[in-house]
Structure 1
Amino acid sequence: MAAEDALDLGLDVWLSPELWNHTPERTLAYLAEAARHAETIRTAAGVGASASAAAAPMAGRRERVVLSVATEASFFLRGILPGRTFAARTKNPAAAIRAGRHVEPLAKFLADAAAVARREFGGPISYASLPFERVDWGLFDFVGVDHYRYVTSEPHYERILERHLRHGKPLVITEFGMRAYRGAELDPDLLTTGLISWPTVALSARRVPFIRPRLQTGKAARLQTGEPTHPQSSETTHPQAGKATRPQASKGPLRDEALQARRVAEDLAIFERMRVAGAFVTQFDEPLLTHDADPRFDLDMSGFSLVTTPQRKKKEAFHAVAHHYAGGPGRLGVPFSQP
């Protein structure tokens, strides 16, 4: 199985079951089922291992199978921040976060999740947290944080890493990366929409006539000229879909794979310098964000992926990651993340 192949290559296997937008009770039931499957994988690790893995004792291989109990629960779970949907919870979360409304329900969920995981799974566990979440890391074996370096976070990026390192447990960056368009590192929407016009993506997936997934070209032009990314602008309505779409800008988005590759390589260098135990690049591929020769419809440039869809062409960031890990022993332990 894939887990055995990864262990043979000297990688750790992190299992991250996800059930988004459900109640804590339903999510914990799902976690229990997933943890039982994870334990089956863990106990099988080392059985029938290839000759190349002979140097890795069975017990050591089993300890390299890790279960992550959840990801960014404040946003993806109902009942922690206000809002029934992910979109509602992430629309304007700052006030609720400053008020600490998430602290108590998050702490309860994570305590329950850790207990469920320990009951069903015998290996190490972790949680992929948001930088603002207060987590009792005594419940877990690894500290995990999704941490992106861009215009909003860059001034205090390393300070947040230092805070997480002070817990005295191995720190793993459970998500990091960069999009592949000019000005992405300056985009305050890097972690939400990027350049994607998500209504057109959704309508295209539903095969609405005349709708083709597209980028917000006006915003791309403003990023390139340094103008504000949220100016007041008019919108037009598509006659068939009745949905708002942005008019085309005279200057469209510019693909910038070199930016993505440079920023990912810089992040890996930061993690190494600060002795982070491992890091997951977001992400290997993004099936919804397809590559197109027409920049208006090249959704891939607004993705974090290392290869294009559907071509599976390796992007410059793929080669940057490969070059980093070609350094051999001493490099970070976990090169890729896949949802």
Structure 2
Amino acid sequence: MISRKVFLTSVAGAAALASVGGGRAQAAERLRGGVCYDTGVVHMAGEPSSRVRWSRRQLEREIGMIATDLRCPSITAFGTDLGRLAETTDVALRRGVEVFVQPRLYDHPQEEILDHMAEAARQAERRRVGDNVKFVTGCEHFLFTPGIIPGATFLERIAHLREMPGSEWPAVIRRFREFMVKAVDVTRREFRGRITYGAAAGADAVWNDWSLFDIVGLDHYRYFETDAEYAADLAQYRRWGKPIMVLEFGSCTFTGAAKAGGTGWEIIDYDADPRVVKPGYERDEREQADHVARLLRVFAAEKLMGAHLYSVISPDLPHHPTCRDRDYDMASYSLLRTMRDRFDDENSPYRLEPKKSFHAFARHNR
């Protein structure tokens, strides 16, 4: 199954970045990291959900681990099935964990996506008490939603984006902003709490009119050598005078994954049957752990509203303990290894084993 991170390959360089600002070293301890929780996304027509197996018992166990072992103050719950989103929100709120609710419906007509968003907002509002639920109006619509970049599917839009002449960008940005106005409108009708949007840092995060939102939301997979460069990159979003929330960040689990950022999924050959990890990559839990710990420290020093790691688990990318070529967990951003009872069965029961990144994340939150 193709990960959502495929999109970020094409995003790089799509928009110019303004670089201003500097480091903020004070009060780094004030930010406790949260995580993204995938309730199941259908990335392409005909593919299974990213979470085939689903049960209330499993949900309770995993949210309990997030609340107790990782001490997360909040999560982003994202997915296509609105029933699962609502169920996850209920369980998390009972555990004292705030929820950013993010519906995802890809490659559907804009009207259907907006209807899906409106119903998700309606359900989120029923569960909101004060500020314990925020709403995320989808993510990276310029690629996920038809009608902004030419192409009927996201793969066609990616292909077009890679070859798109600069003269097309003004029209793309205009169509993107027109859709976002509609997304905010349908959301505000149903949801009275704070809203944001999952924007790709360096692309639609730059084009977006953040005056429409209460929170600037970033999917931040860019890699910088120094903390000062991260500070400069984040500073461009401060001009809106809004809280900044990193809705996604992270690293895969192989040597070189930190610099690969959002393209770490590329180490898997998805055309092979069965799919295999390409030659030349080695499993490296230490690099993932060090990168996660570093970014938590950077985001805390920058006094952001919060940061959610993508993702706490990745059931669609199980770990194989003896076959390196099929250790799909190397291409996952998760804090825990998924160990399936039946490796090739996506509906198989599984257990979770902490990676080094899990312990690094937990240490930061303590």
Q: Would the aligned equivalents of 2:290 and 2:360 in 1 still touch at CA under 8 Å?
A: yes
User: Do structure 1's residue 124 and structure 2's residue 194 form an aligned pair?
Assistant: yes
Return the offset for 1:95.
Answer: 5.2
Match of 2:120 in 1: 34
For 1:272-291, list aligned pairs within 5 A: 272-291=300-319
Q: Would the aligned equivalents of 2:130 and 2:193 in 1 still touch at CA under 8 Å?
A: yes
Q: Would the aligned equivalents of 1:83 and 1:89 in 2 still touch at CA under 8 Å?
A: yes
Match of 1:206 in 2: none
The whole-number CA distance in structure 2 between the counterparts of 1:159 and 1:80 is 29
Unaligned runs of 5+ in 1: 43-60, 201-210, 222-252, 327-339
Return the offset for 1:135.
Answer: 0.9
The whole-number CA distance in structure 2 between the counterparts of 1:323 and 1:8 is 24
Return the offset for 1:151.
Answer: 6.8
For 1:129-278, list aligned pairs within 5 A: 129-131=199-201, 132-133=203-204, 134-150=207-223, 157-187=230-260, 190-191=262-263, 193-200=265-272, 211-217=273-279, 221=280, 253-278=281-306
Return the offset for 1:153.
Answer: 11
Q: Which moved more, 1:153-162 or 1:126-135?
A: 153-162
Match of 2:153 in 1: 85
Return the offset for 1:90.
Answer: 2.2
- Partner of 1:129, secondary structure, is strand
Q: Would the aligned equivalents of 1:15 and 1:68 in 2 still touch at CA under 8 Å?
A: yes
Closer, same or farther: CA 76–40 of 1 in aligned 2, 3 Å: same
The whole-number CA distance in structure 1 between the counterparts of 2:103 and 2:226 is 27
Identity value in percent: 33
The whole-number CA distance in structure 1 between the counterparts of 2:244 and 2:260 is 27
Amino acid at match of 1:159: A
Return the offset for 1:277.
Answer: 0.6
Return the offset for 1:320.
Answer: 1.1
Amino acid at match of 1:318: F
Unaligned runs of 5+ in 2: 1-86, 340-350
- Partner of 1:313, secondary structure, is strand
Closer, same or farther: CA 108–179 of 1 in aligned 2, 3 Å: same
- Partner of 1:172, secondary structure, is strand
Match of 1:18 in 2: 104
Q: Deviations over 1:32-62 (max 9, x none)?
A: 11111111111xxxxxxxxxxxxxxxxxx42
Closer, same or farther: CA 254–192 of 1 in aligned 2, 3 Å: closer
Q: Deviations over 1:254-287 (max 9, x none)?
A: 1100000100111111101111111110001112
Match of 1:65 in 2: 133
Return the offset for 1:106.
Answer: 0.9
The whole-number CA distance in structure 2 between the counterparts of 1:17 and 1:84 is 20
Q: Would the aligned equivalents of 1:151 and 1:185 in 2 still touch at CA under 8 Å?
A: no
The whole-number CA distance in structure 2 between the counterparts of 1:92 and 1:83 is 7
The whole-number CA distance in structure 2 between the counterparts of 1:185 and 1:213 is 23
User: Do structure 1's residue 320 and structure 2's residue 360 form an aligned pair?
Assistant: yes
Return the offset for 1:81.
Answer: 1.5
The whole-number CA distance in structure 2 between the counterparts of 1:70 and 1:145 is 12
Give the paired residue count: 263
Give the alignment's TM-score, normalised by structure 2.
Answer: 0.67
Q: Deviations over 1:133-178 (max 9, x none)?
A: 1111111111001011337999954322111122111100011000
Closer, same or farther: CA 308–12 of 1 in aligned 2, 3 Å: same
The whole-number CA distance in structure 2 between the counterparts of 1:169 and 1:32 is 24
Aligned-residue Cα RMSD (Å) equals: 2.4
Bigger Rg, structure 1 or 2: 1
- The one of 314, 325, 335 equivalent to 1:296 is 325
Return the offset for 1:80.
Answer: 1.1
Match of 2:68 in 1: none
Q: Deviations over 1:57-91 (max 9, x none)?
A: xxxx4212101011011111111112221122223
Closer, same or farther: CA 155–274 of 1 in aligned 2, 3 Å: closer
Q: Which moved more, 1:276-285 or 1:18-27?
A: 18-27
The whole-number CA distance in structure 2 between the counterparts of 1:158 and 1:96 is 30
- Partner of 2:246, secondary structure, is strand
Amino acid at match of 2:161: P
The whole-number CA distance in structure 2 between the counterparts of 1:152 and 1:102 is 32
Closer, same or farther: CA 196–155 of 1 in aligned 2, 3 Å: farther
Return the offset for 1:185.
Answer: 2.6
Return the offset for 1:130.
Answer: 1.4
Amino acid at match of 1:28: L
Give the alignment's TM-score, normalised by structure 1.
Answer: 0.72
- Partner of 1:169, secondary structure, is coil
Match of 1:56 in 2: none
